[in-house]
Amino acid sequence: MLFSICIPTYNRSVMLQECLDSVLKAIETSGLHHEVEILISDNCSPDRTPEVVGHFLQQHGSHLNIQSFRHPENLGAEMNFWSLISRAKGDFIWMIGDDDRVYPQSLQRVHQEIQQQHPQVVAFNYDVWSKDFSEVKKARGLKIRDHLFQDRDQALSEIGLNMGYITAVVFRRDLLKNLSLEDYQIYAPYGFAFAYAIFAGLPAVPKVVFRDELLVMNRAENSGGYNWYKYFVQGSCKVFEGLRGYGYGHAAIEQAKRKVIRQYVIHDLLIRRRDGVSIAGLYETMLPLYRNYPEFWLVVVPLLKLPRGVFTSGWTLFRNLRGWIKQKRRPA
């Protein structure tokens, strides 16, 4: 069997139904029915998730290989991922977030890359949609060009924490054959054990394919209420530092950390300051981890320290200026 499509889910029955419908369409488009198993892991959802899964099984279980299981208690997202990985039988695992959708051509395109390149990992781009999928919020999630990475350090530098966006990554199951549960559990509380597992499993000379092709619809405005800075700041630093033990270079690790600041931290702070969300304790959280990076002192610290009135005025000026520039660029 070539693919294990693994869907971890918790308390998102309506979104899960949309996710499953998109997966079904992708399988039908690819014609790979006999090369795919679908595994659904319910992390003890209190909503209608069992009904949604049961109905999906009833409708499609006769012509598709579908298995589902429900944990008696919530294990946390990362351990739910592990439970799916441990049950998967496919050569390649595609872990799909229960709130995302995949495009109809997605499985077919991943299959083509596997047949042509024989990689350990296929990663790809995505667009970011509003919570109800009524509009595109961001046309491209990542600014990475098509590339075949055959150097682990380069893959870490360029892809970095984006390897943790599960829906946009397909990987060989045997990549994790030497990773112990105990090692994985060290990183599970910090939200990016999945990314750690994949980078840790890559051989010295890997084949990691990245395609700048939109294969996933990412649902924005749908966070799970977790401690964002524990995951994206403390967790990412812990994961990258842990990779030193697997031979990753200092420069690559430092570049991956700085990319988190530029791609995630600055954006989050802008939103928090704009919306008046508390930033208490964030300076103390980030200082020991980012004190050596210019981005921290030149951008992050001013965002943390500026009085909100000054920030709000600057934000308004920036938006007005951007709107004026867009208007000027429109054809007459």
Task: Give how far Cα 162 sits from Cα of 141, 155, 167, Å.
Answer: 10, 11, 10
Burial code (b: 16+ CB inside 10 Å, e: under 16) for 71-87 equals eeeebebbbbbbbbbee
Helices (H) and strands (E) in the chain, counts: 15, 10
> For the chain, what are the domain ranges?
3-237, 249-329
What number of other Cβ atoms are within 10 A of residue 116's Cβ?
9
Q: In whole angstroms, what is the distance from residue 157 CA to residue 332 CA?
A: 43
Please provide the CATH number assigned to the domain covering 3-237. Answer: 3.90.550.10
List per-residue pLDDT tens for the chain, 332 residues long: 899 999 999 999 999 999 999 999 999 999 999 999 999 999 999 999 999 999 999 999 999 999 999 999 999 999 999 999 999 999 999 999 999 999 999 999 999 999 999 999 999 999 999 999 999 999 999 999 999 999 999 999 999 999 999 999 999 999 999 999 999 999 999 999 999 999 999 999 999 999 999 999 999 877 666 799 999 999 999 999 999 999 999 999 999 999 999 999 999 999 999 889 999 999 999 999 999 999 999 999 999 998 887 777 766 766 666 667 666 666 65
> Read out DSSP for 196-249?
HHHHHH--SS--EEEEEEEEEEEE-S---S--HHIIIIIIHHHHHHHGGGGT--
The CB density around residue 294, as the number of other CB atoms within 10 Å, is 10
pTM for this entry: 0.93
